[in-house]
Amino acid sequence: MEKNCFYHKEIPTGLSCSRCNKPVCNKCTIDSLVGIKCKKCGLIGTPHILEVNIFDYFKILCVSLPFSLFLAFLYTLGLIMALNNEFLGKYQEISQTFFKILTLIFLVASGASVGEVVKRVSYKKINKFFPVISALSTLFLWICIYMLFKVIYPQYLLWWEQFFYGPVPIVGLGIAIYLSYKRLK
């Protein structure tokens, strides 16, 4: 049932404002993220969770990238300490399989953790680039682990190939990136 525009009484319309439900014509609409609004409701402003500025991006990058680096350092250090432990002795072969599975679990948990950190730092604001930043921070974690093995622990670069360059860790990385991305969607 068509009504006449609230502001132009002579123009029939089937549209209505998504906030106040007043019937409006095409001349009186303003597009918003949640449908069309009349000019009065459209001027009220953007909700707080949608207001994102350059400082928000900077803040998220300044927290998520060091957090990823910290996780990479802890994991690399822990893995090297565990592999150098004399306790493993004859169980070294079994423990390497265990560490590969532990790597998968670590990557998945890290992806979810990075996503949660980005979510909390952004104060649950909504933006289409925040999930991308979160996913890239998770990929940065992967690169940091490689760089730590290559630069700080070059004698253990072989472990990179064993623990991070196989099908299981690559699947773990994919799941980690997906989880960090979806945490903010």
Mean pLDDT of 112-134: 92
Mean pLDDT of 54-66: 95
Listed by start position, the domains of the chain span: 3-45, 49-182
How far does Cα 84 stand from its chain's mean position? 34
CA distance 17 to 25: 10
Global pTM value: 0.71
pLDDT digits (tens, 9 = 90+) for 24-33: 998 888 877 7
CA distance 33 to 141: 33
State which amino acid sits at residue 102.
L
What percent of the chain stands above pLDDT 90? 37
